[in-house]
């Protein structure tokens, strides 16, 4: 099968990133570091040279660094897409442009997809985004794509992408579908109308900009912390020593794992 003209679609999420390849109408998920998705978090691995030297680590490797040096981790770079800089390091001395960080995440996914297609680059890159993103954040996403090697990505709102996948063959032109999207960092709702070729928003999208799985993690983290002796819980919440900072991050990390496990088991 020829790989010419294949399309890569990337869903850069708040907590995880996934991608799919379309070739001649067939769709295939992209494997990233052996999994069908990668954590969106990034970790600044400090070097042995002067302050500020080091390199950015992505995905699962970043997740593993969370308990070692939590001050070097940005868990949700998507929530920072409207900012200029991310400050990492124990004293926040490492300044990273948000577009560079997101660009590296996209570049990693693209490289995995290109490897899966025998070394040939996609003819088109499609990126999903929340329906309520304004032009400022959309432009930041375009800049990140350019850093990853694609000057003109096709941007598709997440509810349109979801409706296209789940409802294209179920609805006739003019019919409506409601999309409920509870992600890692945002809660989005939208009503879309089927057009002849795609879907269009039937009205302003709704939802809550700062509500998602990360917030549920934090609520569970607070519940677990409240079960600890008061002096330990206070030390975790306002750490003054590195060991308490690490322990605090590890508790939050395990709260997330507990929430995920409860989706499959009645107790954990």
Q: What is the CATH number of the domain that holds 156?
A: 3.30.420.40
Domain presence at residue 223: no
The number of distinct structural domains making up the chain is 1
pLDDT in tens, the chain (268 residues): 344 589 999 999 988 999 999 888 788 999 998 899 999 999 998 766 666 678 899 988 888 777 677 788 898 899 899 899 999 887 668 899 999 999 999 999 999 999 988 888 999 999 999 888 889 999 999 999 999 999 999 999 888 888 887 877 788 888 899 998 888 888 888 999 988 888 888 888 888 878 888 889 999 999 999 999 999 998 888 877 778 877 888 888 889 889 989 889 998 8
- How far is the C-alpha of 254 from the C-alpha of 178, rounded, in Å? 34
Domain presence at residue 180: no
Give SS3 for 210.
coil
- How far is the C-alpha of 174 from the C-alpha of 184, rounded, in Å? 31
Range of the domain at 97: 1-169
Domain presence at residue 57: yes
Domain presence at residue 234: no
Domain presence at residue 3: yes
Domain presence at residue 16: yes
Domain presence at residue 177: no
**What pTM did the predictor assign?**
0.80
Domain presence at residue 261: no
Contacts for 96 with CB less than 8 Å, ≥ 6 apart: 44, 56, 85, 86, 87, 88
């Amino acid at each position: 099968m020829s790989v010419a003209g294949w399309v890569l679609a990337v869903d850069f999420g708040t907590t995880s990133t996934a991608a799919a390849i379309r070739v001649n109408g067939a769709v295939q998920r992209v494997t990233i570091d052996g999994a069908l998705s990668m954590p969106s978090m990034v970790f600044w691995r400090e070097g042995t040279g002067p302050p500020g030297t080091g390199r950015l680590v992505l995905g699962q490797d970043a997740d593993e660094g969370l308990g070692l040096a939590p001050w070097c981790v940005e868990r949700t770079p998507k929530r920072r897409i409207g900012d200029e800089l991310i400050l990492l390091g124990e004293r926040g001395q490492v300044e990273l442009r948000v577009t560079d960080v997101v660009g590296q995440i996209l570049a990693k996914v693209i490289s995995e997809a290109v490897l899966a297609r025998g070394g040939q680059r996609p003819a088109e890159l499609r990126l999903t985004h929340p329906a309520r993103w304004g032009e400022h954040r959309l432009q930041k996403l375009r800049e990140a794509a350019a850093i990853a090697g694609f000057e003109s990505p096709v941007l598709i709102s997440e509810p349109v992408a979801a409706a296209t996948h789940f409802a294209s063959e179920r609805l006739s032109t003019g019919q409506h579908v409601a999309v409920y999207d509870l992600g890692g960092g945002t809660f989005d709702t939208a009503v879309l109308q089927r057009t002849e070729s795609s879907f269009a928003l039937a009205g302003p999208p709704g939802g809550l900009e700062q509500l998602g799985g990360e917030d549920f993690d934090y609520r569970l983290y607070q519940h677990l912390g409240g079960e600890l002796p008061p002096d330990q819980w206070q030390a975790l919440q306002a750490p003054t020593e590195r060991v308490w900072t690490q322990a605090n991050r590890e508790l939050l990390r395990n709260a997330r794992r507990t929430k995920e496990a409860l989706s499959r088991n009645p107790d954990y």
